[in-house]
Amino acid sequence: MHELSIAQNIIDAVQTALPEHGLTRVERIGVRIGTLSSVDPEALTFGYQALIAETSLAGSVLAIEMIETRARCRRCREEFVATDFVFVCPKCESSQCDLVSGQELEIVYLEGE
C-alpha cells in the first residue's frame, strides 16, 4: 500500500519542519496531491492516522487538496483538464501535449502552535 509510505514521508517531513517553523505542536497539515500520483486520499488519511498514534503528531489532521491533471497542447497552446489519463487536445486533437499539473505531492502549510 503506497499510501502508507507516503504518509510516513509526510510525517518525517513535518517532524523535521516543526522546529524550523517554531512550532511544538501541529494541528493541521495542508498537502496537495496531483490526481496523476494515483494516491487515494482516504487511504492516505487512514494510514496517516494509524502512523501518528504514538508520535508527537497525534491528534493532527491532514487537509488534502487534490490537484486535477492539466495538460497544454504543443501545437495550439490550449490548456485542458486531462481525464482518464488521456492527453489529447480537445481543440485540435493533437496528442503532443505537456503535463502542466497532476504530479504534485507536497506539503503546503502547517498549522499549530
The three-class DSSP label of residue 89 is coil
Residues in contact with Zn ion, counted by CB under 5 A, come to a total of: 8
Q: Identify which of residues 59 and 90 has a Cβ nearer to Zn ion in the complex.
A: 90
Please provide the distance, in angstroms rounded to a whole number, between the alpha carbons at the two ends of the chain. 32
**Residue whose C-alpha cell is 494510514:** 47
Q: What minimum distance in Å lies between the beta carbon of 84 and Zn ion?
A: 18
Nearer to Zn ion, 78 or 111 (CB): 78
Using CA atoms, how far apart are residues 46 and 48, in angstroms rounded to an integer?
5
Q: Are 86 and 100 in contact, with CB atoms under 8 Å apart?
A: no
Pick between residue 28 and residue 91 the one whose CB is nearest to Zn ion. 91
* Site track for Zn ion across 53-92, x = CB under 5 A: --------------------x-xx-x----------x-xx
